[in-house]
Amino acid sequence: MQITLIRPDDWHLHLRDDEAIKSVVAHTAERFARAIVMPNLKPPVTTTAMAMAYRDRILSALPHNSDFTPLMTLYMTDRLTSDEVIVAKKSQIIKGIKLYPAGATTHSDAGVTDIRKLYPVLETMQREGLPLLIHAEVTDPDVDIFDREQVFIDRHLRPLTRDFPALPMVFEHITTRQAVDFVRANEGTVGATITVQHLLYNRNAMLVGGIRPHYYCLPILKRESHQSALIEAATSGESHFFLGTDSAPHPQHAKECACGCAGCYTAHAAIELYAEIFERANALDRLEGFASLFGPDFYGLPRNRDTITLAKKKWSIPESYQFGQDRVVPLGSGESVNWQLVR
């Protein structure tokens, strides 16, 4: 059995930098035509000039004859200006500006401390049609980590959609039933990406039988009821939900330690794992919309014209992959996948 899809895109991806890029970008480029590349490097990518330089480093790390296109983003800080937004839009390489609440996830220390102070910038983004990409979690220490997405919706997303009704927003890596409901209530201007890990697993995978650090990501895995809501949304055929892996490689030693970092590496088998999820839901006929059509439509970009083919063939995920001078442990390490990319 085989399925052929219009070549998909990844609308949320971490590639890191320098030597590490060379170890991971080929996995993405083999499966996806384009990807929205996250800007949370150290230092963060805060200007168009920095994004252009980062894009050059990504392109130089690609395998020979690859036609993969990185779509760049800026990191929103308290110091972002409307002038920089205009420069970003005119560059044509910047496809969004990423909002990280300060301290929300890996390398987010420079994130936004008070979104209200950036309202003039958001007004410019709305006028220019430059999407706001949102890591939607509050960071208050008194808010339970499993409730941080829901609190962000009530505290920040509802006011944002009210005050900027024409600003395109992407609710990144949604993890809760409340997020699904919010996106549906604001379809048209709000889209959402859904990751492999939040579709495949719930918090039991991370905690039952001992702490399993390679399942630890932010936003954190939630209850099974939320996982079910995400599967229903992803496989629904509704165009405001689309593919975004949030693939985030970390060295093995940085995950397997007393204070392990957040992030799951999924680029090695992303589209294959999505196919597995859709097959289980009896929705393989809707995979192409989720993976290949709805994302470019939301961003106002042309759909890809080439295709990829997946075969129903079991293979085993390696225990680890090279990652610069280190190793990265992929999601599903040592386990089997039922779909394989036909090369």
**3-class SS of residue 3:** strand
Looking at residue 102, its pLDDT comes to: 80
The confidence score (pLDDT) of residue 103 equals 63
Please give the annotated binding residues, written as ranges. 12, 14-16, 40, 98, 135, 173, 218, 246, 250, 262
- Stretches where the chain sits below pLDDT 50 are none
Tokens of 6: 């219009």
Report the half-sphere exposure of 174 (CA within 13 A, side-chain side).
33
How high is the pLDDT of residue 111?
76
Exposure letters 42-52 (e unless 16+ CB within 10 A, then b)? eebbbbbebbe
pLDDT the model gives residue 110? 72
Matching residue, tokens 């106002």: 300
Q: Determine the pLDDT at residue 109.
A: 63
Which residues on neighbouring strands pair with residue 322, listed in sequence order?
A: 327
Does the annotation count 67 as an active-site position? no
pLDDT digits (tens, 9 = 90+) for 90-102: 999 999 999 998 8
pLDDT tens-digit profile of 54-91? 999 999 999 999 999 999 999 999 999 999 999 999 99
C-alpha Rg value of the chain to the nearest Å: 19
Full-model pTM: 0.96
For domain 2-341, the CATH superfamily is Metal-dependent hydrolases (3.20.20.140)
In sign, the C-alpha dihedral spanning 274, 196, 13, 148 is positive
Nearest to 198 by CA among 169, 168, 177, 167: 177
Q: Where are the alpha helices (DSSP H) in 142-240?
A: 148-152, 158-163, 177-185, 196-200, 203-207, 224-234
Q: What is the pLDDT of residue 106?
A: 62
Residues annotated in a binding site for Zn(2+) = 12, 14, 98, 135, 173, 246
Domain range annotation of the chain: 2-341
Q: Which amino acid is at 234?
A: A
Q: How far apart are CA 63 and CA 75, in angstroms?
A: 27
pLDDT at position 101 is 87
Instruction: Give the span between the Cα atoms of 321 and 329, in whole angstroms.
Output: 7
Extract the annotated binding site for substrate.
14-16, 40, 135, 218, 250, 262
* Nearest alpha carbon to residue 155 among 197, 101, 236: 101
Determine which one of 246, 285, 297, 306 is catalytic: 246
- For β-strands 326-328 and 321-323, DSSP reports them as antiparallel
